[in-house]
Structure 1
Amino acid sequence: MADIYIVYTAVDREVARRLHDVLTTRWAVWWDEQLVGSYPQYIEAEMRKASCVVYVNSETARDKDTIVGELEIARKQKKPIIPVLIDDTEAPYPLGTYSAVTLGAWTGDQSLEGWKQLVIKISEVVAPREKPPRPDTILEDRLRLPGLFMSVSSHETQLSPEDAISVAAAFRYPNVLLSAYDWDPGRLPGAGTSAAEQIADHRAAALDALRKAGSLILMDSGNYEASRRGDAQWTPKLFAAALARAPHDLACSFDVMNPSRDPKAAFDEIVAGVHRDRAFTSAPIVPIVHAPRLDAGGHDLEHFPILLRDLASELRPPLLAIPERELGPGLICRIKATMRIRAELDALPFYQPVHLLGTGNPWSIVTLTAAGADSFDGLEWCRVVVDRASHRLNHFQHFDFFIDQSMNSPYEVTQAAVRSDDIHFAGKTAIHNLDYYAEIAALLQDACRRKALEALVTSLLHQANTRQLTQAVPDLFK
């Protein structure tokens, strides 16, 4: 027995196929690809079994007699009908008065607001049989999940922001996080001088090259740098000016650094901040949600998963960002906290991706992915050097011992950089790291598609550490 019956015309078959393929992961779905024999013989019987009808409306469909006939049968059977608009054509009378969702030329992007509206409407009629699965991509296929962003910051890294951006552009790294703080003229080295103007010009040129390389740019709020430097003068107004100055594809919210321990008050604070920040940019806003602080130190996580679920339900963001460091003192605590968050978010009708801020350690990335996180950012690529053989991080100055790994890289840009006399030590080390993180991202995405995360985690952590992990968190890979 089907939960959903899809009505569509042959011209719109590709959209109907995408709808069928994605909806089938959570509901029983019927469409005429399953039909055997005479169409009129089955249509009324199959529709009678279904709980609701999803109608793909288009210029071709609205005036087609067979489509009008199917919809009339659905109305006579008193089936809830959800029109899905894939062009500017109004739905036929009387469906024009029905609550519809707009998908446009939908490619299967589950981060689209119209898609979230559709699954919410369906869930109101018939409960899903499965929790929402992690999509392979979001943001019109620009961000593959799990995704790794390389962070760029002026605070305690081996590369200036302009140099880091240039290295990422040369490597054509797909996802980069920048800090709005580093795009404020008053916070550049030598602010107010010609030297500062030159730095600003170099950063702008580097960012232009990065965007031409096709990178997805996530602009952070700048509160990380401001808090580390004790800069109490960093404000939403300066953040807005930085967003206007630096082109980007996504922007984090100007975070509420110490939200109320009262969940309702914290919810209101964060939602108000996101609505304010949406006026600063046309790009989607990624809410940063901090856990309330405890007087004795640490963070109060008791109501945190519910707060995140309520925020996701209200704001429906492409990503929901959480500082990893606030999820517990050790990795196992953080894994358990992430699992609780994922369980709560999976109660939503749609899949809500989670981004963990400040997560660049390979062990953390793979284990927290297994726990339910979907994307990460970290500064490790421009602070330390990774040993590809052990997947461990070492002092930046130890790159000398890992040059051979870069010499054997499958990426020509890495091999060329290591051999070049024109690229300084820090640049070579950073490219070595980018090479590694690009490979880990690809392995992680492949493991998720094949449902083989446990094997990948074991290959990084090795048997003894994986055994300890599964003993501490028995449900991690279930």
Structure 2
Amino acid sequence: MSLGYARQTGIITLMDSGNYESFWKGAQTNWKQADFHRMLASFPCDLAFGFDEQQPPANADDHVALVVERWQADQAAAGGCQIVPIVHARANELPALCAAVAAKTGVTMLAVPERRLGNGILDRARAVEAVRKALNNLGCYVVLHLLGTGNPISIALYSAMGADSFDGLEWCQTVVDHETGLLYHLSQADFFAGQTAWGNDGELSFQARTLAHNIDFYSDWMRRLRDAVSQDRLPEFCRSNLPPRAFRHAADVAGWSQL
């Protein structure tokens, strides 16, 4: 399916800047902001993550100025595509920085890498809540996207704390147990083959069967999670779908009654 056809059918397309990969592969000299801009011009899309700075200035004003400057350059190259700025900082700095970036750019969506939120999931959940509160003080809703979040249980908890959208590689690097939402090593997909019709499809490769198995789960999980959010029933969703031990911790950090 071409990108053009996908967009014509109503599918929202999102482009990554490629900066994360170039940074961690030590290939920054081979992939610069101008290269990203050429891709934006060649492949129209609806959303694109901005060309972020993995090691931003320590000074908050300089940090915000850099993010805004890069966002302006990306947005100018993107035309009608909405550029989503990415903010990198320590967890305690993120609320103020995210609010400042959103205020200065006027964006309706920004992103934060999950790994920047803290070490454990409970600290990360509290950080999400703090960022959400700071954004809500702006007077207009700003969508909060978490980069690198693909664990179903994490997605549910972060949604409860104020995050809106997520992307991660768990769907293609692990296998999910449909009954518990827990993730296992990809090679253990045989244990869960009977949970979907894909598991017995002899015409597909092991990898294709496993990915289809995962996509079925995530499609259903996210649909039900969205319904729970729209109906203000997230505590009930988590109580019904998270393992009991995980729910007890989630309820505590979210301030829910466990009765």
Distance 2:183 2:8 in 1: 31
Aligned 8 A contact 1:284 1:318 in 2 = no
* CA displacement at 1:210 relative to structure 2: 4.5
2:54 is paired with a residue whose SS is coil
User: What is the match of residue 247 of structure 1?
Assistant: 44
Alpha-carbon distance, 1:304 to partner: 2.1
Aligned match of 2:166: 376
Deviation at 1:227, TM superposition (A): 2.3
Distance between the aligned counterparts of 2:220 and 2:175, measured in 1? Answer: 15
The structure with the greater share of residues assigned to helix is 2
Match of 1:463 in 2: 244
1:223 corresponds in structure 2 to: 19
| Equivalent position of 2:53 in the other structure | 256
Cα shift at 1:466: 1.7
Instruction: Report the counterpart of residue 101 of structure 2 in structure 1.
Output: 311
Choose the corresponding residue for 1:323, options 113, 124, 134. Answer: 113
**Structure 1 CA distance for aligned equivalents of residues 173 and 6 of structure 2:** 20
1:419 lines up with 2:217 in the alignment: no
TM-score scaled by length of structure 2: 0.91
- Does structure 1 retain, via aligned residues, the 8 Å contact 2:161–2:254? no
Q: Is the 8 A contact 1:321 1:354 kept in 2?
A: yes
Q: How far is 1:428 from its partner? A: 1.8
SS in 2 for 1:350: coil
> Taking structure 1 as reference, are residues 260 and 475 closer, same or farther at Cα in structure 2, changes over 3 Å only?
farther
Aligned length, in residue pairs? 255
Q: SS where residue 271 of structure 1 aligns?
A: helix
Letter in 1 for 2:218: Y
SS in 1 for 2:92: coil
Structure 1 residues 350 and 324, CA, compared in 2 at 3 Å: closer, same or farther?
Answer: same
State which of 269, 275, 286 in structure 1 corresponds to 2:66.
Answer: 269
Query: Residues 318 and 353 of structure 1 are in contact (CA less than 8 Å); yes or no, is this contact kept in structure 2?
Result: yes
Output one character per residue of 1:306-332: Cα deviation in whole Å (capped at 9) or x when no partner: 111121122222311100111001100
**Gap change, CA 1:210 and 1:398, over 3 Å in 2:** farther
SS in 2 for 1:303: helix
Aligned counterpart in structure 2 of residue 337 of structure 1, from 127, 137, 158? 127
Look up the equivalent residue of 2:205 and give its one-letter code: H
| Separation in 1, partners of 2:190, 2:43 | 35
2-structure distance, mates of 1:266, 1:390: 41
CA separation of 1:418 and 1:316: change in aligned 2, threshold 3 A: farther
Question: Secondary structure of 2:78's match?
Answer: coil
Shift of 1:434: 1.1
Q: How high is the TM-score relative to the length of structure 1?
A: 0.51
Q: Does 1:430 align with 2:207?
A: no
- Higher Cα Rg: structure 1 or 2? 1
State the identity %. 37
Matched, 1:454 2:235: yes
Alpha-carbon separation, structure 1, partners of 2:186 and 2:202: 19
Q: Say which SS state the counterpart of residue 254 (structure 1) adopts.
A: coil
Structure 1 residue 476: Cα displacement: 6.2
